[in-house]
Amino acid sequence: MKEKILYALGALAALLLARNIRVMLTGLPDEAFQGAIFRIIFFHVPAAFTCFLCFFIALIASISYLKSGKMQWDSLAVSATEVGLAFGAANLVSGMIWARIIWGIWWTWDWRLTSMLVCWLLYAGYLVLRRAVEEPAQRARLSAVLSILSFAVVPFVFFSIKWFRTQHPQPVLYGEGKMDAAYRAMLYGNWVPLLMLAAVLVMIRIGQENRRRELDALRREVHAF
């Protein structure tokens, strides 16, 4: 039953995504200065939103684990972090493709790019730490602490951007930049299927994580005899 809902949600996300891509390609005009490539923003920006939403969920799950000691929270934390990393990678890669076309280079040490990379590395460290700890309760505890510390660094990393001159296009959703209403609607509109996709992925990972824990417990039982 639960799996069916997941598949339905995934199918709905795929449909919405297909519809959005059709509108993007046929319904929206090219941007005046950037031409066709600007459409990457409809994936680039929602991917970043989804990434940080996932990290935030991982933070809440980590705090909840430390408070309650329930392994379910640990499963949610690791699942959300992994999916967040995937969307973070999508954000970085789509940004690089855009930069190659518009700036003529794949990468520049602009602070917005660097901050995203630092955050990505921070959370990649979380996954590496998990691999180094054998005992499940200890693993959950240490990685929960690391998740909290990592999230506390994120604002520091990002506020430092403001004090550097930046090559990145100025934020268009808030501040001085302006974005056409149709573009803006598409940007948020495309966030919906990406969020649904993230939710499906997280749920599948939680299921895997729970099954793996059961397997580990059974294996221990066998070894105990």
Partner 1 sequence: MLFLRQAWTIAAKDLRSEFRTKEALNASLSFALVILLLFSFAFDPTAEMTREISGGLLWLVFAFAGALLLNRSFARELENDCLDVLVVSPVPAAALFLGKALANYVLLLGIEAVCLPVFGVFYNVSWAGQPGWLALVVLLATWGITVIGTMFSALTVNLRLRELMLPMLVYPVLIPCLMAAMQLTTPLIAGQPPSGDQLAWVRMLVGFDIIFTALSVTLVETVLIG
Contacting residues toward partner 1, per CB under 8 A: 66, 118, 121-122, 125, 128-129, 132-134, 137-138, 141-142, 144-146, 148-150, 152-153, 156-157, 159-160, 163
Output the CA torsion sign for 57, 59, 64, 69: positive
If the CB atoms of residues 163 and 225 are measured against partner 1, the closer one turns out to be 163
Contact between 214 and 73 under an 8 Å Cβ cutoff? The reply is no
Q: Can you tell me the distance from the alpha carbon of 7 to that of 201, in angstroms, rounded to the nearest whole number?
A: 11
If the CB atoms of residues 79 and 150 are measured against partner 1, the closer one turns out to be 150
Q: Can you tell me the distance from the alpha carbon of 222 to that of 213, in angstroms, rounded to the nearest whole number?
A: 14
Which structure tokens are listed for 27? Answer: 């319904």
Shortest distance, CB of residue 174 to partner 1, whole angstroms?
21
Shortest distance, CB of residue 195 to partner 1, whole angstroms?
27
Q: How many CB atoms lie within 10 A of CB 159?
A: 10
If the CB atoms of residues 63 and 199 are measured against partner 1, the closer one turns out to be 63
Q: Which residues pair with 35 in a beta bridge?
A: 31
Shortest distance, CB of residue 50 to partner 1, whole angstroms?
21
CA-to-CA separations, 205 to 72, 77, 195, 209, in angstroms, rounded: 12, 10, 15, 6
If the CB atoms of residues 6 and 161 are measured against partner 1, the closer one turns out to be 161
Shortest distance, CB of residue 88 to partner 1, whole angstroms?
13
Shortest distance, CB of residue 133 to partner 1, whole angstroms?
6
SS3 for 106? coil
Whose CA is closest to 52, among 83, 24, 27?
Answer: 83
If the CB atoms of residues 59 and 203 are measured against partner 1, the closer one turns out to be 59
